[in-house]
Chain A
Amino acid sequence: MALTREQMAQRVARELKDGYYVNLGIGIPTLVANYVPEGMQVMLQSENGLLGMGPFPSEEELDADMINAGKQTVTALPGAAIFSSAESFAMIRGGHVDLTVLGAFEVDVQGNIASWMIPGKLVKGMGGAMDLVAGAENIIVTMTHASKDGESKLLERCTLPLTGAGCIRKVLTDLAYLEIEDGAFILRERAPGVSVAEIAEKTAGRLIVPEHVPEMAF
């Protein structure tokens, strides 16, 4: 079975380490905050200028002046810091964020990522995604393995305009966890009940399958 959105978030959460500063993108990445392991302390960075983001507010806590980068109302935890957008991106560009999780349309074997623009469709903008992928050492891309029409999103070369070049090393899809090394996807784990053959069939870019590919457990 392909992973659910929650299972994808759960799997990404296993990459968290105690003391990490983490930036979570919109969608599945946001759900990762629900699966921070017990006893582990991580601090969430939101690129509109908040470090120490807390959960959504109660009715009483609701405050128009406290939002996240997805423009949702949020709270700030004790120990949070708030700053300007320039300071926020100094943290990001300067490589101070330990882990960035974001979605994408396509990634390729060179570590290129396309996530913001589909030619012919209205372009809304890249927001902070280009800064995030350029600045972070440690990025996990979360996306479905193939489009609804069955087209692979793991390619030999991205077809859409790029968000960043050569910056992606880790990809979690609904079918597999893969790493990108030396011009190939390396299949590290597969979703429960998903065969290597199915993953290979849905991966258009060069795929290396190690002898043993463990199945994820939840």
Chain B
Amino acid sequence: MAGLDKRVGSYEEALAGLTDGMTVLAGGFGLCGIPENLIAEIRRRGVRDLTVVSNNCGVDGFGLGVLLEDRQIRKMIASYVGENALFEQQLLSGELEVELTPQGTLAEKLRAGGAGIPAFYTATGYGTPVADGKEVREFKGRKYILEEAITGDFAIVKGWKADHFGNVVYRHTAQNFNPLVAAAGRITVVEVEEIVEPGELEPSQIHTPGIYVDRIIQGSFEKRIEKRTLRS
């Protein structure tokens, strides 16, 4: 790494400094746009007691689901976690803690975290179990709850293309939570399908500007499809 060239040579280097007990923010929606190889590297490193923030927790044997196999996740903050049997098993046995968060609130917590806003009021969840223990305030006759921002020690991101400055574009709906976690990580690591020359990406079309990104690596991806649905 030199100057503003964020490229690293290996996945090991990409996650250097990741240790037990850290908070990891992961992009992706279901299995779409997940940082597959960075997740595999977390598994290889064997770090434990992680708090993982991600909309979902993968499936058995793929995505974040693989981190459950060696019990590396202590706490999961997510909006929907129904897709893996191992998750259910560890949740019921008490090995795994889960904090279910409405999807839009989760997105905004991450956006706020990256933007330096400590908390915000939202109507989402008012009158539901999500509001338990949270400050309630009325604005213009409507009740809102106070939700706190989320930041992480590491953010792991899947992009489509990036230049070595760390400017990233995402492909189709693989964008989802990726630009949000990218901005909210203390160390943000982005893996992409292709690293291109500076100037190849149209500056006005950049989704994640390089200022948020610390490390870039090019990988190859399986891109597993969770629900293959075809027109009949």
Contact = CB atoms under 8 A, between A and B. Distances in A.
A124 B80 contact: yes
A164 B128 contact: yes
A93 B173 contact: no
Contacts of B172: 63, 65-66, 76, 82
A55 to B, nearest CB: 5
Contacts of B111: 86
B134 interface: no
Nearest to B224: A64
B227 A72 contact: yes
How extensive is the interface on chain A, given as a class? 35 or more
Contacts of B180: 84-86
B62 interface: no
B100 A83 contact: no
A65 B192 CA distance: 13
A134 B103 contact: no
Contact of A65 (B32, B104, B106): B32
Contacts of A74: 229
Contacts of B173: 46, 48-50, 65-68, 82
A71 interface: yes
A193 interface: no
Contacts, number: 170
A126 interface: yes
Contact of B127 (A48, A71, A89, A165): A165
A187 B72 CA distance: 53
B124, B160, B180: residue with the most chain A Cβ atoms closer than 10 Å: B124
User: Which of B128, B178, B225 has the most chain A CB atoms closer than 10 A to its own CB?
Assistant: B128
Contacts of A55: 231
B194 interface: no
Interface of B: 29-33, 55, 78-82, 88, 91-92, 100, 102-108, 110-111, 122-130, 160, 171-180, 207, 223-231
24 contacts: A49-B29, A49-B175, A57-B229, A59-B230, A67-B30, A71-B32, A74-B229, A82-B172, A85-B180, A88-B104, A122-B88, A124-B80, A125-B79, A125-B81, A125-B82, A126-B80, A127-B103, A128-B79, A130-B102, A134-B122, A134-B124, A135-B104, A161-B128, A164-B127
The 6 closest A-B pairs by CB, nearest first: A165-B127, A89-B104, A124-B82, A131-B104, A125-B80, A64-B223
